[in-house]
Structure 1
Amino acid sequence: MRNARLASRALLILLASTGCLSAMAFPSDTSTRHPATNQFPLKFKRHDFRAYCYNTIGCEVIYADNNFTRRYYGDKVAPPPRSADYRNTWGLASYIGIPNFPPPAEVKWKSLDGAAHEASVDIGAIFKDELIRYSVPNDQIVEGLYPGPGPAGEPSIFLEVNDRTINVFMKAFIPTKKEQEPGNKYSNFREDLILAWTRTY
Protein backbone atom coordinates (compact mmCIF):
# COMPACT_ATOMS: atom_id res chain seq x y z
CA MET A 1 0.00 0.00 0.00
CA ARG A 2 2.79 2.44 0.89
CA ASN A 3 4.59 1.64 -2.38
CA ALA A 4 1.36 2.23 -4.31
CA ARG A 5 0.94 5.65 -2.75
CA LEU A 6 4.55 6.49 -3.52
CA ALA A 7 4.02 5.51 -7.15
CA SER A 8 0.83 7.59 -7.23
CA ARG A 9 2.69 10.61 -5.88
CA ALA A 10 5.48 10.19 -8.42
CA LEU A 11 2.93 10.00 -11.23
CA LEU A 12 1.15 13.17 -10.11
CA ILE A 13 4.41 15.10 -9.86
CA LEU A 14 5.44 13.80 -13.28
CA LEU A 15 2.13 14.91 -14.77
CA ALA A 16 2.53 18.34 -13.23
CA SER A 17 6.11 18.69 -14.39
CA THR A 18 5.29 17.68 -17.95
CA GLY A 19 2.30 19.97 -18.24
CA CYS A 20 -0.17 17.09 -18.40
CA LEU A 21 -2.25 18.08 -15.39
CA SER A 22 -4.69 19.98 -17.50
CA ALA A 23 -5.23 16.90 -19.65
CA MET A 24 -5.81 14.86 -16.52
CA ALA A 25 -8.15 17.39 -14.91
CA PHE A 26 -10.00 18.39 -18.08
CA PRO A 27 -11.08 15.37 -20.19
CA SER A 28 -10.72 15.96 -23.92
CA ASP A 29 -13.74 13.92 -25.01
CA THR A 30 -16.81 15.55 -26.53
CA SER A 31 -19.18 14.73 -23.67
CA THR A 32 -20.81 17.41 -21.56
CA ARG A 33 -18.88 16.45 -18.43
CA HIS A 34 -17.23 19.26 -16.52
CA PRO A 35 -14.36 19.02 -14.07
CA ALA A 36 -15.43 18.68 -10.46
CA THR A 37 -14.91 21.72 -8.32
CA ASN A 38 -12.53 21.71 -5.39
CA GLN A 39 -14.11 21.63 -1.95
CA PHE A 40 -12.80 24.52 0.11
CA PRO A 41 -11.35 24.74 2.64
CA LEU A 42 -8.91 22.03 1.55
CA LYS A 43 -8.61 19.28 4.14
CA PHE A 44 -6.49 16.16 4.60
CA LYS A 45 -7.12 12.80 6.29
CA ARG A 46 -3.65 11.33 5.81
CA HIS A 47 -0.24 12.95 5.91
CA ASP A 48 3.43 12.25 5.26
CA PHE A 49 6.19 12.91 7.78
CA ARG A 50 9.91 13.53 8.06
CA ALA A 51 12.20 14.78 10.84
CA TYR A 52 15.44 16.76 10.58
CA CYS A 53 18.03 17.41 13.29
CA TYR A 54 20.65 20.19 13.20
CA ASN A 55 23.10 21.45 15.83
CA THR A 56 22.12 18.68 18.24
CA ILE A 57 23.64 15.76 20.10
CA GLY A 58 21.88 12.41 20.23
CA CYS A 59 18.71 13.62 18.53
CA GLU A 60 15.82 11.15 18.46
CA VAL A 61 12.33 11.70 16.99
CA ILE A 62 9.75 8.91 17.29
CA TYR A 63 6.39 9.30 15.57
CA ALA A 64 3.83 6.83 14.18
CA ASP A 65 5.87 3.95 15.67
CA ASN A 66 8.95 4.92 13.68
CA ASN A 67 12.34 6.32 14.73
CA PHE A 68 13.10 9.02 12.16
CA THR A 69 16.57 9.91 13.40
CA ARG A 70 18.47 6.66 13.95
CA ARG A 71 21.64 8.10 12.47
CA TYR A 72 21.86 10.73 15.22
CA TYR A 73 20.88 8.59 18.21
CA GLY A 74 23.34 8.09 21.08
CA ASP A 75 26.08 10.71 21.27
CA LYS A 76 26.23 11.45 17.55
CA VAL A 77 26.34 15.11 16.59
CA ALA A 78 23.95 16.46 13.97
CA PRO A 79 25.84 19.18 12.05
CA PRO A 80 24.48 22.64 11.28
CA PRO A 81 22.57 23.29 8.05
CA ARG A 82 24.80 23.54 4.97
CA SER A 83 23.42 26.90 3.86
CA ALA A 84 21.06 29.68 4.92
CA ASP A 85 18.38 28.43 2.51
CA TYR A 86 18.73 24.78 3.54
CA ARG A 87 14.98 24.24 3.84
CA ASN A 88 14.66 24.85 0.11
CA THR A 89 16.39 21.49 -0.39
CA TRP A 90 13.69 19.60 1.51
CA GLY A 91 11.62 17.62 -0.92
CA LEU A 92 8.41 15.88 0.08
CA ALA A 93 8.30 13.84 3.29
CA SER A 94 9.44 10.28 2.68
CA TYR A 95 7.31 8.39 5.24
CA ILE A 96 3.91 8.47 3.57
CA GLY A 97 0.27 7.64 4.20
CA ILE A 98 -0.03 8.20 7.98
CA PRO A 99 -3.71 8.38 9.06
CA ASN A 100 -4.56 11.48 11.11
CA PHE A 101 -3.32 11.37 13.91
CA PRO A 102 -0.97 9.07 15.85
CA PRO A 103 0.09 9.90 19.43
CA PRO A 104 2.43 12.90 19.81
CA ALA A 105 5.96 12.81 18.43
CA GLU A 106 8.43 12.07 21.24
CA VAL A 107 11.65 14.04 20.91
CA LYS A 108 14.85 13.61 22.94
CA TRP A 109 18.09 15.49 22.31
CA LYS A 110 20.89 17.59 23.70
CA SER A 111 21.45 21.15 22.58
CA LEU A 112 24.98 22.20 21.66
CA ASP A 113 25.64 23.38 25.22
CA GLY A 114 25.13 19.79 26.42
CA ALA A 115 21.76 20.38 28.10
CA ALA A 116 19.34 17.45 27.77
CA HIS A 117 15.82 18.05 26.50
CA GLU A 118 12.64 16.04 26.06
CA ALA A 119 9.49 17.18 24.29
CA SER A 120 6.15 15.71 23.32
CA VAL A 121 5.01 17.43 20.13
CA ASP A 122 1.32 16.83 19.48
CA ILE A 123 1.01 16.90 15.68
CA GLY A 124 -2.70 16.16 15.98
CA ALA A 125 -3.26 19.23 18.17
CA ILE A 126 -1.23 21.48 15.86
CA PHE A 127 -3.31 20.41 12.86
CA LYS A 128 -6.56 19.58 14.66
CA ASP A 129 -8.60 21.43 12.02
CA GLU A 130 -7.11 19.10 9.35
CA LEU A 131 -6.74 22.10 7.03
CA ILE A 132 -4.04 22.06 4.36
CA ARG A 133 -1.75 25.08 4.70
CA TYR A 134 -0.84 26.74 1.40
CA SER A 135 -0.38 30.20 -0.10
CA VAL A 136 -1.98 29.81 -3.53
CA PRO A 137 -5.23 31.76 -4.05
CA ASN A 138 -8.12 29.30 -4.32
CA ASP A 139 -9.13 30.50 -7.78
CA GLN A 140 -5.65 29.63 -9.10
CA ILE A 141 -5.75 25.96 -8.05
CA VAL A 142 -6.48 23.36 -10.74
CA GLU A 143 -10.09 22.19 -10.45
CA GLY A 144 -11.13 18.68 -9.57
CA LEU A 145 -8.20 17.56 -7.39
CA TYR A 146 -9.57 18.22 -3.90
CA PRO A 147 -10.82 16.20 -2.22
CA GLY A 148 -9.29 13.20 -3.89
CA PRO A 149 -7.22 10.11 -3.23
CA GLY A 150 -3.47 10.06 -3.40
CA PRO A 151 -0.76 12.68 -3.06
CA ALA A 152 -2.76 15.76 -4.02
CA GLY A 153 -4.57 15.64 -0.69
CA GLU A 154 -1.73 14.23 1.40
CA PRO A 155 0.56 17.02 2.67
CA SER A 156 4.05 16.64 4.10
CA ILE A 157 4.64 17.49 7.75
CA PHE A 158 8.21 18.22 8.85
CA LEU A 159 9.54 18.33 12.39
CA GLU A 160 12.87 20.15 12.70
CA VAL A 161 15.09 20.15 15.79
CA ASN A 162 17.75 22.87 15.70
CA ASP A 163 19.80 23.34 18.89
CA ARG A 164 17.11 24.34 21.41
CA THR A 165 14.25 24.97 18.97
CA ILE A 166 11.64 22.65 17.47
CA ASN A 167 9.74 23.79 14.38
CA VAL A 168 6.83 22.06 12.67
CA PHE A 169 6.12 22.85 9.02
CA MET A 170 3.62 21.77 6.39
CA LYS A 171 4.31 21.51 2.67
CA ALA A 172 1.50 20.67 0.25
CA PHE A 173 1.68 19.95 -3.47
CA ILE A 174 -0.72 22.47 -5.05
CA PRO A 175 -1.20 22.20 -8.86
CA THR A 176 -1.81 25.65 -10.36
CA LYS A 177 -3.62 26.78 -13.48
CA LYS A 178 -0.74 29.03 -14.53
CA GLU A 179 3.01 28.64 -14.66
CA GLN A 180 4.69 29.95 -11.54
CA GLU A 181 7.70 30.91 -13.64
CA PRO A 182 6.48 32.47 -16.90
CA GLY A 183 7.82 30.51 -19.83
CA ASN A 184 8.64 27.43 -17.74
CA LYS A 185 6.07 24.78 -18.64
CA TYR A 186 7.26 22.62 -15.75
CA SER A 187 6.31 25.19 -13.09
CA ASN A 188 2.53 24.74 -12.89
CA PHE A 189 2.51 23.92 -9.16
CA ARG A 190 3.55 25.31 -5.77
CA GLU A 191 5.05 23.55 -2.76
CA ASP A 192 5.37 26.29 -0.15
CA LEU A 193 6.87 25.38 3.22
CA ILE A 194 4.68 26.95 5.90
CA LEU A 195 5.60 27.19 9.58
CA ALA A 196 2.75 25.89 11.75
CA TRP A 197 4.33 25.69 15.23
CA THR A 198 7.59 26.56 16.98
CA ARG A 199 9.00 26.37 20.52
CA THR A 200 12.40 27.02 22.06
CA TYR A 201 13.46 24.96 25.09
Structure 2
Amino acid sequence: MSEESVRRQLAGPLYGQEPWPIRFHTHGFIFHCYNTLACSGVYNRYQFGTRKWIDGIPHDGPSGSPPKNDRNKWRCGHAILAKGGKTFPGPVEIEWTSLDGEEHATSIDLDTLFKERLVLHTVTREEVKELWLQTLSIEPVSPDIMVEVNNRTVSVYMEALIVTEVEDEPGTKVSGLRFDPMLARSVTY
Protein backbone atom coordinates (compact mmCIF):
# COMPACT_ATOMS: atom_id res chain seq x y z
CA MET A 1 0.00 0.00 0.00
CA SER A 2 1.48 3.37 -1.00
CA GLU A 3 2.05 6.20 1.46
CA GLU A 4 -0.57 8.24 -0.41
CA SER A 5 -3.25 5.55 -0.02
CA VAL A 6 -2.45 5.15 3.69
CA ARG A 7 -2.90 8.90 4.19
CA ARG A 8 -6.20 8.83 2.28
CA GLN A 9 -7.44 5.98 4.44
CA LEU A 10 -6.45 7.67 7.73
CA ALA A 11 -7.93 11.05 6.79
CA GLY A 12 -11.13 9.52 5.44
CA PRO A 13 -13.55 12.10 4.06
CA LEU A 14 -11.30 14.93 5.31
CA TYR A 15 -8.51 14.09 2.86
CA GLY A 16 -7.69 17.13 0.74
CA GLN A 17 -10.44 19.25 2.33
CA GLU A 18 -10.13 22.82 3.58
CA PRO A 19 -8.64 22.53 7.10
CA TRP A 20 -10.65 25.37 8.70
CA PRO A 21 -12.85 24.98 10.61
CA ILE A 22 -11.02 22.05 12.19
CA ARG A 23 -12.92 18.77 11.80
CA PHE A 24 -12.34 15.19 12.91
CA HIS A 25 -12.95 11.72 11.53
CA THR A 26 -11.59 9.50 14.33
CA HIS A 27 -11.54 10.06 18.09
CA GLY A 28 -10.44 8.75 21.44
CA PHE A 29 -12.97 7.84 24.11
CA ILE A 30 -12.73 8.25 27.88
CA PHE A 31 -15.41 7.39 30.47
CA HIS A 32 -15.36 8.33 34.16
CA CYS A 33 -17.74 7.85 37.08
CA TYR A 34 -17.62 10.02 40.20
CA ASN A 35 -19.82 10.17 43.28
CA THR A 36 -22.00 7.20 42.32
CA LEU A 37 -23.05 4.03 44.14
CA ALA A 38 -22.81 2.08 40.86
CA CYS A 39 -21.93 3.11 37.31
CA SER A 40 -21.64 1.44 33.92
CA GLY A 41 -21.07 2.86 30.45
CA VAL A 42 -20.94 0.81 27.26
CA TYR A 43 -19.43 2.20 24.06
CA ASN A 44 -18.10 0.36 21.04
CA ARG A 45 -18.84 -2.94 22.82
CA TYR A 46 -16.54 -2.00 25.74
CA GLN A 47 -17.78 -1.59 29.28
CA PHE A 48 -16.45 1.23 31.45
CA GLY A 49 -17.18 2.21 35.05
CA THR A 50 -17.41 0.38 38.34
CA ARG A 51 -19.55 -2.58 37.23
CA LYS A 52 -17.75 -5.92 37.01
CA TRP A 53 -19.22 -9.15 35.66
CA ILE A 54 -18.52 -12.40 37.50
CA ASP A 55 -20.07 -15.59 36.11
CA GLY A 56 -22.58 -13.52 34.13
CA ILE A 57 -23.78 -11.61 37.20
CA PRO A 58 -23.18 -7.86 37.51
CA HIS A 59 -21.40 -6.65 40.65
CA ASP A 60 -21.51 -2.92 41.22
CA GLY A 61 -19.26 -0.80 43.35
CA PRO A 62 -19.16 2.86 44.34
CA SER A 63 -17.01 5.44 42.62
CA GLY A 64 -14.96 8.07 44.38
CA SER A 65 -14.70 11.82 44.01
CA PRO A 66 -13.12 13.45 40.93
CA PRO A 67 -9.33 13.91 41.05
CA LYS A 68 -8.08 17.24 42.38
CA ASN A 69 -6.07 17.74 39.18
CA ASP A 70 -8.49 17.81 36.24
CA ARG A 71 -5.63 16.92 33.85
CA ASN A 72 -5.64 13.41 35.35
CA LYS A 73 -9.13 12.83 33.91
CA TRP A 74 -7.65 12.79 30.41
CA ARG A 75 -4.87 10.26 31.09
CA CYS A 76 -6.30 7.11 29.54
CA GLY A 77 -8.43 6.64 26.50
CA HIS A 78 -9.42 4.18 23.81
CA ALA A 79 -8.77 4.93 20.14
CA ILE A 80 -11.94 4.66 18.09
CA LEU A 81 -11.21 4.24 14.40
CA ALA A 82 -13.86 5.05 11.84
CA LYS A 83 -15.29 1.92 10.22
CA GLY A 84 -17.39 1.80 7.10
CA GLY A 85 -17.31 5.58 6.85
CA LYS A 86 -18.86 5.95 10.32
CA THR A 87 -17.06 8.09 12.88
CA PHE A 88 -19.10 6.78 15.82
CA PRO A 89 -19.83 3.06 16.29
CA GLY A 90 -23.10 3.74 18.14
CA PRO A 91 -24.45 5.49 21.22
CA VAL A 92 -22.97 5.51 24.72
CA GLU A 93 -25.34 3.50 26.95
CA ILE A 94 -25.13 4.52 30.61
CA GLU A 95 -26.71 3.04 33.76
CA TRP A 96 -25.87 4.36 37.21
CA THR A 97 -27.07 4.84 40.76
CA SER A 98 -26.68 8.34 42.18
CA LEU A 99 -25.62 8.91 45.79
CA ASP A 100 -29.27 9.20 46.89
CA GLY A 101 -29.87 5.59 45.73
CA GLU A 102 -31.92 6.47 42.64
CA GLU A 103 -31.21 4.42 39.50
CA HIS A 104 -30.76 6.20 36.17
CA ALA A 105 -30.23 5.24 32.54
CA THR A 106 -29.53 7.29 29.44
CA SER A 107 -28.18 6.96 25.94
CA ILE A 108 -25.94 9.57 24.33
CA ASP A 109 -25.86 9.70 20.55
CA LEU A 110 -22.42 11.16 19.80
CA ASP A 111 -23.21 11.09 16.08
CA THR A 112 -26.00 13.63 16.65
CA LEU A 113 -24.11 15.64 19.28
CA PHE A 114 -21.10 16.06 16.97
CA LYS A 115 -23.08 16.05 13.72
CA GLU A 116 -20.81 18.56 11.96
CA ARG A 117 -17.64 16.77 13.18
CA LEU A 118 -16.24 20.11 14.37
CA VAL A 119 -13.38 20.03 16.87
CA LEU A 120 -14.43 22.11 19.88
CA HIS A 121 -11.78 24.65 20.92
CA THR A 122 -11.30 28.31 21.76
CA VAL A 123 -8.37 29.10 19.46
CA THR A 124 -9.01 31.71 16.78
CA ARG A 125 -8.00 31.15 13.17
CA GLU A 126 -5.31 33.84 13.53
CA GLU A 127 -3.73 32.05 16.52
CA VAL A 128 -3.40 28.66 14.77
CA LYS A 129 0.04 27.78 13.42
CA GLU A 130 -0.38 27.90 9.64
CA LEU A 131 2.05 25.10 8.82
CA TRP A 132 0.26 22.74 11.26
CA LEU A 133 -3.14 23.72 9.85
CA GLN A 134 -2.01 22.82 6.32
CA THR A 135 -1.26 19.24 7.43
CA LEU A 136 -4.83 18.61 8.67
CA SER A 137 -6.18 17.63 5.25
CA ILE A 138 -3.71 14.73 5.29
CA GLU A 139 -3.45 13.97 9.01
CA PRO A 140 -6.59 15.30 10.75
CA VAL A 141 -6.91 15.98 14.45
CA SER A 142 -8.27 13.07 16.49
CA PRO A 143 -9.87 14.60 19.61
CA ASP A 144 -10.63 12.81 22.85
CA ILE A 145 -14.28 12.67 23.88
CA MET A 146 -14.88 12.15 27.57
CA VAL A 147 -18.19 11.15 29.12
CA GLU A 148 -18.36 11.87 32.83
CA VAL A 149 -21.03 10.72 35.26
CA ASN A 150 -20.93 12.71 38.51
CA ASN A 151 -23.79 11.80 40.88
CA ARG A 152 -26.87 12.96 38.90
CA THR A 153 -25.06 14.83 36.10
CA VAL A 154 -23.78 13.38 32.83
CA SER A 155 -21.39 15.63 30.90
CA VAL A 156 -19.66 15.21 27.55
CA TYR A 157 -16.36 17.00 26.93
CA MET A 158 -13.99 17.22 23.98
CA GLU A 159 -10.28 17.92 24.11
CA ALA A 160 -7.94 18.21 21.13
CA LEU A 161 -4.40 19.28 20.45
CA ILE A 162 -4.30 22.64 18.67
CA VAL A 163 -0.90 24.05 17.66
CA THR A 164 -0.71 27.83 17.97
CA GLU A 165 1.60 30.68 17.04
CA VAL A 166 0.80 32.29 20.39
CA GLU A 167 2.64 31.21 23.53
CA ASP A 168 0.22 31.02 26.44
CA GLU A 169 3.08 30.21 28.85
CA PRO A 170 6.20 31.85 27.36
CA GLY A 171 9.38 29.82 27.67
CA THR A 172 7.78 26.41 28.31
CA LYS A 173 8.05 23.49 25.89
CA VAL A 174 4.28 23.11 25.47
CA SER A 175 3.52 26.82 25.32
CA GLY A 176 2.36 26.70 21.69
CA LEU A 177 0.19 23.63 22.26
CA ARG A 178 -3.39 23.97 23.48
CA PHE A 179 -5.38 21.16 25.10
CA ASP A 180 -8.51 22.94 26.32
CA PRO A 181 -11.32 20.65 27.57
CA MET A 182 -14.57 21.96 26.10
CA LEU A 183 -18.00 21.10 27.49
CA ALA A 184 -20.25 19.84 24.66
CA ARG A 185 -23.28 18.85 26.75
CA SER A 186 -24.33 18.46 30.38
CA VAL A 187 -27.62 17.08 31.71
CA THR A 188 -28.67 16.67 35.34
CA TYR A 189 -31.16 13.88 36.05
Shorter-chain TM-score bucket reads 0.7 to 0.9
The aligned residue for residue 90 of structure 1 is: 73
Matched, 1:168 2:156: yes
Instruction: Summarize the Cα distance change of 1:37–1:125 in structure 2 as closer, same or farther, 3 Å threshold.
Output: closer
Deviations 1:168-193 (A, max 9, x none): 00001001123221122332100000
Task: Spell out the pairing of 1:1-201 with structure 2 (5 A cutoff).
Answer: 39-69=19-49, 71-73=50-52, 74-83=59-68, 86-91=69-74, 94-99=77-82, 100-143=87-130, 144-149=134-139, 153-201=141-189
TM superposition shift of 1:147: 2.6
TM-score, normalised to structure 2, is 0.78
Cα root mean square deviation, aligned: 2.0
Deviations 1:115-165 (A, max 9, x none): 11111111111101100111111122122232332xx51000000000011
Maintained 8 Å contact 1:167/1:195: yes
Instruction: Summarize the Cα distance change of 1:123–1:194 in structure 2 as closer, same or farther, 3 Å threshold.
Output: same
Which amino acid letter does the alignment assign opposite residue 38 of structure 2? Answer: G
SS in 1 for 2:33: strand
Consecutive unaligned residues of structure 2, counting only runs of 5 or more, are 1-15, 53-58
Instruction: Summarize the Cα distance change of 1:135–1:61 in structure 2 as closer, same or farther, 3 Å threshold.
Output: same
Distance 1:44 1:81 in 2: 28
TM superposition shift of 1:58: 1.8
Distance 2:75 2:128 in 1: 19
